[in-house]
Amino acid sequence: MTAPVEGPATDIIVVGAGPAGRSLAYRAAAAGLRATLVDPAPHRVWRQTFGMYADDAPAWLEPGAVAARTAEFCVFTPQRRAVDREYLVLDSERFQQSLSLSEVTVVASSATALTATSVTLADGSVLAGRHVVDARGTAGHRRADTPRQTAVGILAGRVGATDGGDDPDTTVLMDWRPADTGPNAVSSNLTSSGPASFSYRIDTARGRLVEETCLAARPPLGIAELARRARLRLRLSAPTGDEEVQHGGMDEIVDFPMYPNARPWRGDGALAIGAVGGLMNPATGYSVAQSLRAADLVVEAVAGRRDPRAALWPRAARIAFTLRLLGLLVLIRLRPAELVGFFDAFFGVPVPLQRAYVSSHADAPGVLRAMAAVFRRSPPRLKARVAVASARAAVEVVRLMVV
């Protein structure tokens, strides 16, 4: 076995230089900890789109990293509803640059093995530290029984594209109306051609992005079908030539599991963080804001010589995660029209309850109250369907927890 590398002890080694990993390394260095960041391409420019509720953003997020901000957002379920909650979209490149690595030791290498205190690199050398954190994301997680979120995005500046008829500054979080508003509208995105999808429309640093999203499905809705729906919504013809080579003319493609690990707090090896570490909300797919806020929990624990796993996953956080997992497994059992009815009820509850469900990390009572409020607002037939789906989902949750 190769011995650990010589040198001063490192407080924290972060493996993975995406938003969760780089933020953690940056915040650790800012707190005076000795931090090392390991990634085969640590300076690869981020191209993804990162959106979040403004009240989820950490206080240290630099204003210059924000590309767009709106005081409210709207949803169509299918009627239009304005939600009084501020929403922001990051400028991915400026956000990345704001997370300075000047005080971080950067190692450009793949990690082949991780333990709680060591990282084995591709060349066989070993880095040793007091704590190791795995922030490598969900790319390698392909279990067939795990629901996945899929989406395709098109910049509305393409010739001939429309943006759904929104005002230029409107953030549309979910538009469940049919993609095709013509005579055959009912057949576009809410029928038997596959799971339901919705349109997500935001302003970004690159322009107006229109993204067709399948929230979660098992099996997932295919990229080709989402691309068809996106083009239908934008009144675009099928791509040809060079566009066909470039992912069918899509500007952004999303495909990830909604919960890589049903019990992210378990284990005694490297602490997982970010989407791979249970910080993705299993009912929405949001993870960036939660990962940024979690970075400080981990840093404070390491700086205080406490267990960062215990700090990140107190009992209330584990219960809240499990309740949301139950909610996800209910959603994937609903028919398309029922799913729209569910979100109509959800966005009808007070914003503090919405926030408790989609944003809070450890507010288990708040998650329960939100679930109860949505159930009360649902029409009788949907209540019956949710009750049946909940019973079946509960059996699956128990199975996941004991495997």
- In this structure, the answer to whether residues 21 and 95 fall within a common structural domain is no
- In this structure, the answer to whether residues 75 and 157 fall within a common structural domain is yes
* Residue 315 confidence class, pLDDT cut points 50, 70, 90: very high
- In this structure, the answer to whether residues 281 and 395 fall within a common structural domain is no
Cα angle: 307, vertex 267, 306; to 5 degrees: 0
Locate 321 and state its tokens: 């995660």
Selected residue with higher pLDDT from 170 and 352? 352
Percent of the chain at pLDDT > 70 equals 88
- In this structure, the answer to whether residues 167 and 230 fall within a common structural domain is yes
The CA distance from 339 to 337, in Å, is 5
Query: Which residues have CB under 8 Å from 289's CB, separation 6+?
Result: 52, 53, 56, 57, 58, 359
Residue bearing tokens 């098109």: 154
pTM: 0.91
Contact 250, 233 (CB under 8 A): no
The chain-wide mean pLDDT, for the chain, equals 90
- In this structure, the answer to whether residues 343 and 245 fall within a common structural domain is no
- In this structure, the answer to whether residues 150 and 238 fall within a common structural domain is yes
- In this structure, the answer to whether residues 84 and 162 fall within a common structural domain is yes
Residue bearing tokens 């979660």: 216
Contact 86, 71 (CB under 8 A): yes
Cα angle: 254, vertex 339, 178; to 5 degrees: 70
- In this structure, the answer to whether residues 282 and 336 fall within a common structural domain is no
Q: What is the CATH number of the domain that holds 274?
A: 3.50.50.60
- In this structure, the answer to whether residues 29 and 171 fall within a common structural domain is no
- Predicted confidence (pLDDT) per residue in 20-71, tens digit: 999 999 999 999 999 999 999 999 999 999 999 999 999 999 999 999 999 9
Is the model's pLDDT at 192 over the cut of 70? no
- In this structure, the answer to whether residues 188 and 254 fall within a common structural domain is yes
Q: Which of 166-175, 253-262, 328-337 bottoms out in mean pLDDT, i.e. has the lowest?
A: 166-175
* Residue 141 confidence class, pLDDT cut points 50, 70, 90: confident
Residue 140, pLDDT score: 75
End residue of a domain, out of 213, 238, 258: 258
Locate 361 and state its tokens: 């990390």
Q: What is the mean pLDDT of residues 3-12?
A: 64
Is the model's pLDDT at 189 over the cut of 70? no
- In this structure, the answer to whether residues 287 and 338 fall within a common structural domain is no
Contact 198, 174 (CB under 8 A): yes
Question: How many domains does the chain fold into?
Answer: 3
Q: What is the mean pLDDT of residues 250-274?
A: 93
- In this structure, the answer to whether residues 147 and 124 fall within a common structural domain is no
The domain of 281 spans: 1-42+101-140+260-313
Locate 140 and state its tokens: 């390698």
Give CA separation, 56 vs 31, 211, 239, 282, 319, in Å. Answer: 21, 22, 38, 16, 20
End residue of a domain, out of 225, 243, 258: 258
